[in-house]
Chain A
C-alpha cells in the first residue's frame, strides 16, 4: 500500500516542483498600459523586420532622424534637430540633436546610422529596397553579394566593394549627408520608418558571428538590446510578456506619459478578447473579425473601434501568356481580365462575409489616405459590358473558356469570398471556376511562383506615399505576382520618382494607377478595416489607417 501511495505522492511533489520551475520570475505588477499586439513578435532587429507587430514595437524602442507625429503619423523631426535639402532636392544634410542618447546613456552619433544603413546593404532584409533611393546603394548591395559569393567559392583575391561609393556620409559625429538618386519627397517618411533607424554597434559587437557579418539575434533580447527611442526593452519572455520601460535618457522624456508598457501574448482571438474583458489589457490591437462582427451587430458597445485600414483586399490575375501547367492563359488577354473585374458585385462580399462595414473598392490604393492624391475611377460593376468584352475575346457566354481555379489560403474568410466570386462569374459570365484552398505557406509559394490563374491577394502600405502601393506592380518588382508588364506604367512611376513637384508627382502616380486598373491585372474588392478595442479611459491611441501608434502619449486615466 505504501508503495502504491508513493505514486500520487511523487506526482504531487513533481507538480509542486514544476509549478515553481515554470512560474514567472518577473515583476507581477500591472503595467501603466498593457496591450495585445497582432500576432507573435518575430524579430526585433530592424534589419530583418517586416511584420506589423514588430514594426509597432520598433516605434516605441527606436527613433529615426525623423519620427512620426503621434496624432497624424506625418514625419516630424525626431533624432535630428534640423534637416536641410538642397535645391535639386537630392542632397539631404541631417543634424543629430546633441541631447539624443541611447538608453545606456551613450550619445547617438552619425556612425550609428551609417552602421545600420550599411548593414541593410550587406545583409539584405525585406526592406533593403527602401535604401535603393540612395545613390550607389543598389550597386553596392549587388556588388557585395557578388563579393560574398566569390569568397564562398574560395576566391579571396576579389576586393570588397567600397562603401564610400554609397551616397551616405558622416561629415562629423553629428552630421550626415545623404545623396539620393532622385528627389524623393517622402524621404522624411522613410527616415521615420524602421529600416532607417540607427543601431548601437558597441552593444551588438559581442554577438557578431564567425562570418564577421551577421549578428546572433540574441542581441535583441534584454538586457542586451540598446535602443534610442522613448522606451527600452526591459523584459521579453517567449510567448508570455514583453515589457518596455521609459528610457532614462530619451531627449523628449518629459512627454512620455506611461512609464511601463506591457505587451501580453494571446494567440487565440477569443482568449485575447477575454483577457481584455478581464481588464488585464487596455488595448486590443486586432479583435477577431467574427467577434467584431457579432459586437457590431449588437451595436451596444462603445469600446469597439472599426475604421478603414491602409490595405486593400483584391484578386490577382496571372498575366503570363502560359499557365504553370503549360496551357494557354486566357487571362493574358486584357479584355478577359476587364470582363472578370466588371462582373463582380462587391456589395454581397462585404455585407455577408466581411460584415465589418468594409468600404467596397474599385481602386488599388485605398481612397482618401494620401493627401492630394486623386484616385482614378476604376472599372465599374457592369455585367452587360463584361459579357460583351468576354464575347469579343472569343468566349461568348463563357463558351470555350478553359477550366481555371481560384487560389486562396484557407485561413480567415478567404474561402467564403472565393465562393461568392465564383458564383458571380458563373451567373454573370457563364465561366466555371474551381476553388483551390491551400495552407498559407503553400499559398505564398504558389503565388510568388505564378502557380495560379486567379489568386486572392492583399497589400498594406508601409509609408505615407502612393509609391508604397504603386511600386508593387512595376515590371521588375519581386512583389508583382501577376507578372503584369506595362512599359507605360513603369515609365509613369519612374517619371514620378524624378518629379520634384509634389502635385505633378501625385498626378503621374494617379495616371499610373489608372492604367493598372483599366488593364486589370488585379481586381480590387474592398478596403481592409482595423478593429481596435479600448475603453474611453485610454487616451492617445489615434485611429490611423496604418494601425500604428506612438507610445509616448498613450496613458490610462484612473
Chain B
C-alpha cells in the first residue's frame, strides 16, 4: 500500500510536466496576441514594453523560466489579460468558489443518486424503477444551461424562493449546485442500479437473507457496500470536474468561479492563465484519482492494492 502510494506520488509531477508541455505548445501555436484592445493597434513601443513586463524576452525564455517559477515559488506569474492581477490572485479568488460549489453538487448527486439507484434496483421493473430511470435519462440528456434556466424560471422568477444569481451566501449556492448535480446524479443513479441488481443476485446476499437478517441490513450493509464500488470510481473524476467549475453554470448564475477562466483565458489568449487553470485541473484530477484508489482499500477490505496475483 505504502509503496503503491509512493509510486503514484512520484508519477504526479511527471504527468503534470507532460500536461504542461502539451498545453504550452498549444498556447503558443494559437494565433493572436493577449495584449491590447482589439479595435486599436498597439504601437510597437507599447507592445515591446508589455512583453518586457510580462514575458521576459521570448517563448524560449518563457518555456524555461516559467516552470521554474511555478516549482520554486508556487507562482504562476502575472495574468496577461487582467493586468493588475497575477494568475495566483485569479486562482485564489476563483478556486474556493468552484470547490465549494462543486463539493456541494457532488454531495447532492451522491445522496440522491444512490437513493434513486437503490430504490430502482429494489423495485426492478416496477413504477419506481421506471420513474427513476426516466429521471436519470432526463438528467443525462438535459444540458446544464437548460436546467439552469428552468431552475431560475421556477424557483427564482416564479416562486421567489431563491436568488437567481450572485455569490456570498449559502442561498446563492443552492440553484447552481442543483444544476451542476443533475448530470452526475443521473449517472450515479444508473451506475448504482445496475451494480445493485448485479450484487443482489450474488450468493452472499442470498446467504445473508437466509440467515434471517432484516432486509434493511441486507440491502445497505451487505449489497450496497459492494455495489457502491463503481460509483466510488466515478466519484474521483466527477469531483475533480465539479470542483474546477463549469463555464455555463457560472455564467448563467453570475458566479465568480474558475470555469469561466478556462474559456475566457483561451478567448483572451491569456497564456499564463490558461497554463495555470489547466495545471490546477490536472492536479485535481490526479490527486482525486489517487484518493479514490486509496479509498478502495478502506471501503472494500477485499481489495489489497499491492497484492500480486498468486
Contacts and interface: CB of A to CB of B under 8 A. Distances in A.
Contacts, number: 175
B274 to A, nearest CB: 13
Interface string A103-122: 00000000000000000000
A271 B253 contact: yes
A11 B107 contact: yes
A1 interface: yes
Nearest to B164: A274
B70 interface: no
Interface string A31-64: 0000000001111110010110000000000000
Interface in B158-203: 163-170, 173
Contacts of B96: 18, 21-22
B2 interface: no
Contacts of B52: 211, 214
Contacts of B82: 40-43, 238
Interface in B1-48: 31-34, 36-46, 48
Quick one: which of A19, A41, A458 has the most chain B CB within 10 A?
A19
A403 B103 CA distance: 55
A274 B224 contact: no
Contact of B254 (A15, A271, A457): A271
Interface in A208-232: 211, 214, 217-218, 220-221
A12 interface: yes
A444 B41 CA distance: 8
Contact of A126 (B37, B111, B169): B37
B286 interface: no
Contact of B39 (A3, A442, A459): A459
Contact of A28 (B168, B228, B299): B168
Given A11-B107, A51-B37, A441-B268, A238 B46 contact: no
B57 to A, nearest CB: 9
Interface stretch (B85-93, B124-132, B136-144): B85-93
Contacts of A479: 40-41
Given A11-B110, A18-B100, A238 B94 contact: yes
B37 A50 contact: yes
A460 B39 CA distance: 9
B168 A278 contact: no
B39 A478 contact: no
B93 A3 contact: no
A268 B251 contact: yes
B38 A43 contact: no
A327 B96 CA distance: 54
A486 interface: no
Given A124-B43, A129-B43, A48 B32 contact: no
A527 to B, nearest CB: 15
B39 A126 contact: no
Could you tell me the dominant secondary structure of chain B's interface residues?
helix
Given A42-B81, A217-B84, A240-B167, A14 B103 contact: yes
A445 B31 contact: yes
B81 A280 contact: no
B43 A214 contact: no
B86 to A, nearest CB: 8
B84 A44 contact: yes
A287 B83 CA distance: 25
Contacts of A19: 100, 104, 170, 173
A23 B267 CA distance: 28
A4 B269 CA distance: 44
Chain A CB within 10 A, most for which of B103, B253, B298:
B103
Nearest to B260: A267
Contacts of A272: 254
Contacts of B111: 8
Nearest to B107: A11
A124 B45 CA distance: 7
Interface in A99-158: 123-126, 128-129, 141-142, 145
A246 interface: no
Given A4-B299, A124-B46, A458-B39, A23 B93 contact: no
Nearest to A238: B93
A440 interface: yes
A502 interface: no
A12 B37 contact: no
A275 interface: yes
A61 to B, nearest CB: 13
A22 B33 contact: no
Q: Which of A126, A275, A280, A460 has the most B CB atoms < 10 Å from its CB?
A: A126
B43 A50 contact: no
A19 to B, nearest CB: 5
Contacts of A21: 96, 99-100
Nearest to A481: B41
Given A4-B299, A440-B38, A265 B106 contact: no
A383 B225 CA distance: 79
B220 interface: yes
A50 B31 contact: no
23 contacts: A1-B220, A4-B225, A18-B103, A22-B99, A22-B100, A43-B83, A50-B36, A50-B37, A125-B46, A126-B46, A142-B45, A217-B84, A220-B84, A265-B254, A268-B254, A274-B165, A275-B166, A280-B166, A441-B267, A444-B39, A457-B39, A460-B39, A479-B41
Enumerate the 4 nearest inter-chain pairs by beta-carbon distance, A residue then B residue, closest first: A441-B32, A18-B100, A22-B96, A271-B254
Given A11-B106, A126-B40, 14 more contacts: A11-B107, A19-B173, A42-B82, A48-B83, A124-B43, A217-B78, A217-B84, A271-B251, A274-B254, A441-B31, A441-B38, A441-B267, A441-B268, A444-B39
